[in-house]
Amino acid sequence: MKKLLLLLSFIVLFKVVQAQEYDRNNLILKNISLDSLSKIVKRNSGYNLYFGSAVDSLAVSLECNVMDLLDSLPLVLGRYGYGLSTIGYDIIALKGSGLIAGLPDGYFKDGAVVAPTQGVPELISANTESDNRAENKANAQIMNDELVYSLKGAVLSAESTQKIRSTQIGLERVRIDRIKHVPAAFGEADVMKVVLTLPGVKSVGESSGGFNVRGGATDQNLILFNEGTLYNPTHLFGLFSAFNPDVVSDIELYKSTIPAKYGGRISSVLEINSKNGNNKKISGSAGIGLLTGKIHLEGPLGGEKTTFIAGLRTTYSNWILKLLPEDSGYNNGTASFNDFTLGVNHKFDDKNYLYLNGYYSSDGFNFNKDTAYNYSNLNWSVKWRHVMNDNHNLALSAGFDEYNHKSSETGDSVNAYGMNFRIRQAFLKANFSWFLNNEHSLNYGINSVFYNLSPGETFPAASGSLVIPRSLERENGAELSLYLSDTWNIADRFSLDLGLRYSFYSALGPKHWFSYKGSIKDESSVLDTLYAKPGSFVKPYHGPEFRLSARYSLNDNMSVKVGFNSMRQYIHMLSNTTAVSPTDVWKLSDANIEPQNGWQSAAGLYSNIFGNRVEFSAEGYFRKMDNYLDYKSGAILNMNETIERDVLRTEGRAFGVEFLAKKPFGKLNGWISYTYSKTQLRDNGENGVYTINRGEWYNASYDKPHDVKIIGNYKFTQRFSISFNLDYASGRPVTIPVVKYYYGGGYRLYYSERNSYRIPDYFRMDFSINIEPSHNLRLLTYSTITIGVYNLTGRKNAFSVYYDTNSGKRIQGYKLSIFGAPIPYVTYNIKF
Amino acid sequence: MKRICLLCIAVVVLCANGCITPFEPEGMAGYKKMLVVEGNIILGGITTVSLAYSMDLDDDGKIVYVQDANVRVESESGSVYEAVKVVEDGVVSYQADMSDAGLDDRYRLYLVVKGKDYESDFVPVKVAPPIDTVAYMVTGDSTEVEFYVNSRDRTNSTRYYMWSYTEAWEFNPRIYSEFRYDPFSKEIFGIADYENRFNCWQNSKSTAVLIATTDFLDEDVVYRKKLNSIGRYENRINYLYSMELTQYALTREAYLYWENIKKNSDDIGGIFSPQPSEMSGNIRCVSDSDEYVIGYISATVPSKKRIFAYSSDIGIYKYPYDCFSEIIGNDYFLRDSLYHMGMDVILYEPDTGESHWAPKRCVDCTIFGTKEKPTYWPNNHQ
């Protein structure tokens, strides 16, 4: 039955191809060898196609538009009994329906279309029938090699069975071509905003930089760009993300089963992977939108062994400030931002690869000439991948990450001040993967991170300023983690992922701190002032983290999984705002601030229906977190030496169910998700004294129980498609006043229960038309135009509600919307 | 330190019809009423305490004062200063004479309201340094004038400041009229100087929470703390403006309390606004520990300063109205029509019966103020 469906779809596809007979982009491959197919795929998509058990004599035929090449692969290779999986940029074709998880890096040698000598995970015995049929073919022929030109960003279909076969729960992966087709504010293809369209991911509102995964706080997400950790990956206060979409390959979000090699955050891991450079020729792209201009280049560097990719994006968004009303006082302001990405790969030989990655982003704003504001991220890393032997691999990486922000206010000379914050970290990671045998593949390694924070300094920013220069004591910390995980295929139907990570952490001297009597920390309970010498431990913390999951396949198209994972986090963002603000500072755990920890258990059902064309999944989870930081009234978060006196230890709990139906390919493609979830927090109190809601559970600011997302794209032709989004969510909880009172000459507001009111529900629709004007290969460039409207209905979604007390006795309520009107946009991109 | 407004970009630009729209959350009425205790213990003067109840948000009725309370100030050393109830313009307050109370003691407020006892913490006396200057500054685009205060404590011990002010202003309409129209007889009469509708006064009080700290400065210097801002079309700077500023010194705790009130009122609703939260004051109900009382009592010796500023010196005032005039003959019907159209007589020729009329707002200052001249006013206008 399945084969019939495949065959049917192939016939349909064939018909389409016939109809476009004279299109020069048609690719007609007859009886070509797998080796040739690999090369064609590589050239057209940048993906490496490997065959786990190649049959030299096997030849395949394929007719499609070059745009559809990757779409067609599963169908075509499916006919010959191959199932496809992807690892990074590698597509692995194996006999059977997919690949087991945890295959060592570089297990398949670059370019080799041969089976490794041992340990090939043959999941299903070879389908002799189709092989025999294939053997009858001869005369490998590529109709016209020159027809197939570089096309990046085609849809990859190889993962259609991965969700079912892997032990991963709560893993979402989105390719950049999909991201580029999602309409976004100002038409900027936005990596982070697409994350928000995934089930289980929420934010407090549009234009807020952070995101919340399954009830986690915004500082509990580990955001990795290549190897580097990003602390604030947004531009323009969170309006869009700081990644150039032309150098990004895909994103992966781990919501539940977090691989043991990752740690340091208790909620999720978001991995953003950049592309590898084209190793044949120099190519690139450029684009302009309403706010930004961008360019990227890639290609070989003196031979095929070394490639580079570089991207630059910058803004001309000053016009936005000019649109501000004159009386706002801000229309003299300027805003600028840019980001730069660089990747260089070098292949020494088949066993040694080197990867260099660099990233820099910066934002600067000036309001009224005397208020300036800057922040920047800097990351660089180097990774050496070494194939130790056929079964054993090593990836060794080292790098450096920095995030800093600066602000200054020079309006009057006496109070003119500047304020700086900086976080630096250096890391060294050794990750091994060991393909022990067909049943066990191990990942193990050691990760270390050294933190150095300059938690704040203020200084006079003009001559005549009386501001006292102040600098908080530097914070240092070291985190060392060891991990081991085993992907254990007990049977074809049943596999386990058993991971254990053990992390040690301590703040390091030199450091001064107070010790307190009892749990109440204030001036009166200070016992002693303590000091740790340079390099010595302030207070060590350590503990195990468990990463466990199990998968049982009910049949080829359906599996169930369960998982449990626990996490520890030694760095905290200090913020009492609901949205992530670029003035937020971070703090390391120390003697008085305990690490955050959390666990999550989850279970899911995964099924591919309609002949693998629609992926369906349902997941449920429950999670707990401890030692999350909230703040006392009047807490001062900047330049506070004794922040421990102002924090409230808070615990959290969350549960939810997520349903996702995804159709990755075809004319109509996209996904629909529905989430029901609940996230609550509770003030743990100090000796029975509660600050927030009497120590009872209250809803977190990002608790939006009902959430429906539809992301869709319909291809009318290869040149013309439309995309649409629909986003509905329950209103988020806010704290609003309950009474007013007259005090100090005016009406004041009294706030009671934290987050007891909900703002109106959120609803938004976006729409865009994507036109690829020319496929003529004789042109040097290839251009794309996107025209779209963000917030089509112009609904004024509330971000917050508040009251104005300045207008006399009657206190007027207001709601604030961020995108309160339809926002049309046009972007133009060329590839060369 | 000043909070940086990060938002304005996103908020204003992206909304064609304004991102800020009126909105009334539902179902918020009916929260329990709380006692609000306001006032400072003023050493060397009169301590004035007002007691009122909180109101529903949409309540636009009057403030409900506590009518029958026993109020006294107690010193730690045992002195008691009883307050007496004073009602002035419908405002109920309780006043205690503390002219001879010592500065080295600590004081608290003690109340009995409806049979329940309330007390504040004992608070130390903070003596405010003299006010250096109160002055004004015209904004760069000449559309507003801002009054500000400079202060300095050479002993570096004040650090936390609060201010309140009363303001009064004399203003004139565009046209001086020596005549008056009587709508009953429809006649026009000449008037005496003191009956003029040209010189009027109005007064007001500060409503904003005005606080500052010099905690982060090398010296205890308040420099150009903005007190208010007045637009160029406002009557306040039409002729002569006066402000009397009262400066208080606060403890750090009191400062944090007021700062929280300010945050909860002024900084709420933006994208990067902090979560609103309540901070307990220093007054509690002794009889019922669960009862929440709003208010923070400080003990202080305030300092005061009054300034005057002439419109001609400020130099930005612009008269906001168009003042055309109409001339009519001796016609009672037309007079009456003009009067009912909101015109006022400015000239009258008794011989011909011809009269000149202009919009009332250009002639009659009593629309916007009163003829009650403050006693301290530095001229002989009437």
Tokens (6 digits) for A727: 């986003």
What DSSP line would sit under A562-587, residue for residue?
A: EEEEEEEE-EEEE--BSS--TT-EEE
What pLDDT is recorded for position A266? 95
Residues of B in contact with A823 (CB under 8 A): 14
pLDDT in tens, A249-308: 889 999 998 999 999 999 999 999 998 888 888 999 999 888 889 999 999 988 888 999
Residues A752-764 have pLDDT tens digits of 788 888 999 999 9
3-class SS at B325?
Answer: coil
Interface A–B counts its CB contacts (< 8 A) at: 254
- Provide the strand spans (E) within A368-416: 371-389, 392-409
Query: In chain A, whose CA is at the least distance from the CA of B269?
Result: A802
Does the beta-carbon distance from B272 to A701 stay under 8 Å? Answer: no
Distances in Å between the alpha carbon of B201 and those of A274, A460, B235? 71, 44, 10
A752 to B257: CB separation less than 8 angstroms, yes or no: no
Residues in CB range of B311: below 8 A, 6 or more apart: B237, B238, B239, B240, B241, B317
Question: What's the count of helices (H) and strands (E) in chain A, helices before strands?
Answer: 8, 49
Q: Which residues pair with A568 in a beta bridge?
A: A597
Q: Say which range, A88-97, B39-48, B205-214, has the weakest mean pLDDT.
A: A88-97
User: For residue A327, is pLDDT > 70?
Assistant: no
C-beta neighbour count of B230 within 10 angstroms: 21
**Interface-testing mutation among B271, B279, B293, B298, with chain A (most A C-beta atoms within 10 A):** B271
* pLDDT of A295: 94
The reported pLDDT for the residue numbered A128 is 31
Mean pLDDT rounded to a whole number for chain A: 81
Cβ-Cβ contacts under 8 Å, A458 against chain B: 216
pLDDT attached to residue A115? 33
Query: End-to-end alpha-carbon separation of chain B, Å?
Result: 45
Q: How far is A544 from chain B (nearest CA, A)?
A: 34
Put simply, whether B177 touches A (Cβ < 8 Å) is no
- Greater pLDDT, B161 or A331: B161
The tokens describing A511, both together, are 């450091």
Give the residue-averaged pLDDT of A443-456: 96
Q: How confident is the model at residue A102 (pLDDT cuts 50, 70, 90)?
A: very low
Give CA–CA dist A77/A135, Å, rounded.
14
- Local confidence band at A161 (pLDDT 50, 70, 90 cut-offs): low
Average of per-residue pLDDT across A798-804? 82
**Interface contact B289, partner A, CB < 8 A:** no
- Please give the pLDDT value at position A331: 61
Query: If we measure between CA atoms, which residue out of A759, A830, A831 comes closest to residue A795?
Result: A759
Interatomic CA distance for residues B337 and A252, integer angstroms: 78
- Closest residue by Cα to residue A303 from A329, A277, A339: A277
Q: Which residues of B are less than 8 Å from A813 in CB distance?
A: 22-25, 57
Reduced to 3 states, what is the DSSP secondary structure of residue A108? coil
Give the range among A380-384, B215-219, B311-315 with minimum mean pLDDT: B215-219
Q: Is B185 on the interface with A (CB under 8 A)?
A: no
Chain B, nearest residue to A325 by Cα: B12
Considering CB atoms only, which of B17, B23, B216 is closest to A815? B23
B61 or A201, greater pLDDT: A201
Q: Which residues of B touch A689 (CB under 8 A)?
A: none
| pLDDT band at residue A105 under the 50/70/90 scheme | very low
What pLDDT, on the 0 to 100 scale, is given for residue B92?
94
Distance from CA of A770 to the nearest CA of B (A): 23
Residue B30 touches partner A, C-beta closer than 8 Å: no
Q: Is the CB of A468 less than 8 angstroms away from the CB of B25?
A: no
Partners of residue A805 in chain B, C-beta under 8 Å = 265
Percent of chain B with pLDDT strictly greater than 90 = 75
Of A234-248, A687-701, B1-15, B69-83, the range with the lowest mean pLDDT is B1-15
pLDDT (mean) for A417-425? 95
Which residue in A has a C-alpha nearest to residue B144's C-alpha? A327
Output B11 or A769, whichever has higher pLDDT.
A769
Q: What is the DSSP string of A39-106?
A: HHHHHHHS-EEEETT--TT-EEEEEEEGGGHHHHHHHHHHHTTEEEEEETTEEEEEESS---S-PPTT
- Inter-residue contact A272 to A223 (CB < 8 Å): yes
More confident residue, A87 or B236: B236
Percentage of chain A surpassing pLDDT 90? 43
Share of chain A above pLDDT 70, in %: 82
Which residues of chain B make contact with A800, given a CB cutoff of 8 A?
A: 268-271, 273
- CA nearest A816 in B: which residue? B20
Nearest CA in chain A to B262: A748
> Is B29 near chain A, with CB under 8 Å?
no
> What is the chain A residue with the closest CA to B25?
A813
Identify which has the larger pLDDT, A417 or A106. Answer: A417
More confident residue, B60 or A410: A410
- Helix (DSSP H) and strand (DSSP E) numbers for chain B: 4, 27
H/E run at residue A164: helix A162-165
State how far the Cα of A171 lies from the Cα of A443, in Å rounded to an integer.
18
Tokens of A811: 């206190």
- Quick one: closest CA in A to B280, which residue? A633
- How close A592 gets to chain B, by Cα (Å)? 23
**Separation in Å, CA A363 to CA A189, A237, A251:** 18, 9, 23
Best residue of A802, A814, A823 to probe chain B, by most B CBs closer than 10 Å: A802
B13, B20, B143, B216: best to mutate for the A interface, most A CBs within 10 A: B13
**Tell me: domain B32-120+253-297, CATH 2.60.40, correct?**
yes
- Does pLDDT of A355 surpass 50? yes
How confident is the model over A182-209, as a mean pLDDT?
Answer: 83
What band does A122 get if pLDDT is binned at 50, 70 and 90? very low
**pLDDT tens for each residue of B114-168:** 999 999 999 999 999 999 999 999 988 889 999 999 999 999 999 999 999 999 9
* Every domain range in chain B assigned CATH 2.60.40: 32-120+253-297
B273 touches chain A (CB under 8 A): yes
Closest CA to B58 of B18, B100, B28, B87: B28
Residues A394, A384: Cα–Cα separation, whole Å: 8
User: Angle, to 10 degrees, between the axis of helix A34-45 and the axis of helix A69-79?
Assistant: 160
Q: Which residue has the higher pLDDT, B373 or A236?
A: B373
- Put simply, the answer to whether A468 touches B217 (Cβ < 8 Å) is yes
In eight-state DSSP terms, residue A329 is S
- Are the beta carbons of A414 and B13 separated by less than 8 Å? no
Cβ-based contacts of B19 with chain A (< 8 Å) = 796, 816-818, 820
Give the model confidence (pLDDT) of A592-623 as tens digits: 999 999 999 999 999 988 877 889 999 999 99
Q: Is B278 on the interface with A (CB under 8 A)?
A: yes
pLDDT digits 0-9 by tens, A39-81: 777 766 667 787 765 555 677 777 666 666 776 777 777 777 7
pLDDT reported for residue A632: 83
| pLDDT classification of A36: cutoffs 50, 70, 90 | confident
> What does pLDDT average to over chain B?
89
pLDDT of residue A326: 57
- Residue B42 one-letter amino acid: I
B50-81 confidence digits (pLDDT tens): 999 998 887 876 889 999 999 999 999 999 99
Nearest Cα of chain B lies from the Cα of A798 at a distance, in angstroms, of 9
* Each residue's pLDDT tens digit, B226-258: 999 999 999 999 999 999 999 999 999 999 999
Domains along chain A? 2-156 (no CATH), 171-831 (2.40.170.20)
Residues of B in contact with A806 (CB under 8 A): 207-208
Q: Is residue A499 very low, low, confident or very high in pLDDT (cuts 50, 70, 90)?
A: very high
Contact B63 A692 (CB under 8 A): no
For B:192-231, CB contacts with A below 8 A are: 205-209, 214, 216-219, 221, 223-224
pLDDT of residue A87: 61
